[in-house]
Homo-oligomer: A and B are copies of this chain.
Amino acid sequence: MTTQDVQDDLPAPDTLELRAKLFRGLGDPSRLAILDALVSDERSVQEIVGHTGLGQPNASNHLRCLLDCGLVTRRSEGRFVRYRLADGRIADLIRDAGRLLASNANGVDTCRNYTG
């Protein structure tokens, strides 16, 4: 194993970190619950709070995060702000993860390295 090998095989570090960051965006239960709520419909913050059981400030904070990441878009309507998924492929990623878990039945839940 040499440095040359590393440079040959490794994707650009930028890409690596960005992808990791994208997955981290999906990897928080609160954010994933929000995205789940948005898979079917555009929803207001209030509705999202109702669906997810999150506190309002907490939901707002995560929505800001998802917005910054480009995972959702925002539309103001009077006093309401309605959010929706920015790209259909985000729903695809979420669905694929679900299928992987369903069919593979892998031991994600038993992994003690991080709590989940």
Where the two chains meet, the residues of A that have a C-beta atom closer than 8 Å to any C-beta of B are: 1-2, 5-6, 9-11, 15-29, 31-33, 36-37, 40, 46-47, 50-51, 53, 61-62, 64-65, 68-71, 86-87, 89-90, 92-94, 96-101, 104-114, 116
Closest 8 CB pairs of A and B: A70-B106, A1-B50, A24-B27, A65-B113, A23-B27, A21-B116, A68-B111, A23-B26
Residues of B within 8 A of A51 (CB): 1, 5-6, 9-10
Number of this chain's copies in the assembly equals 2
* Interface of A: prevailing SS: helix
Can you list 28 residue pairs at the A/B interface with Cβ under 8 Å? A1-B51, A6-B51, A6-B53, A10-B51, A16-B33, A18-B101, A19-B94, A20-B31, A21-B108, A21-B109, A21-B116, A22-B101, A23-B23, A23-B24, A23-B32, A23-B97, A24-B24, A24-B114, A25-B111, A65-B111, A65-B113, A68-B110, A68-B112, A69-B106, A70-B104, A89-B96, A89-B100, A93-B96
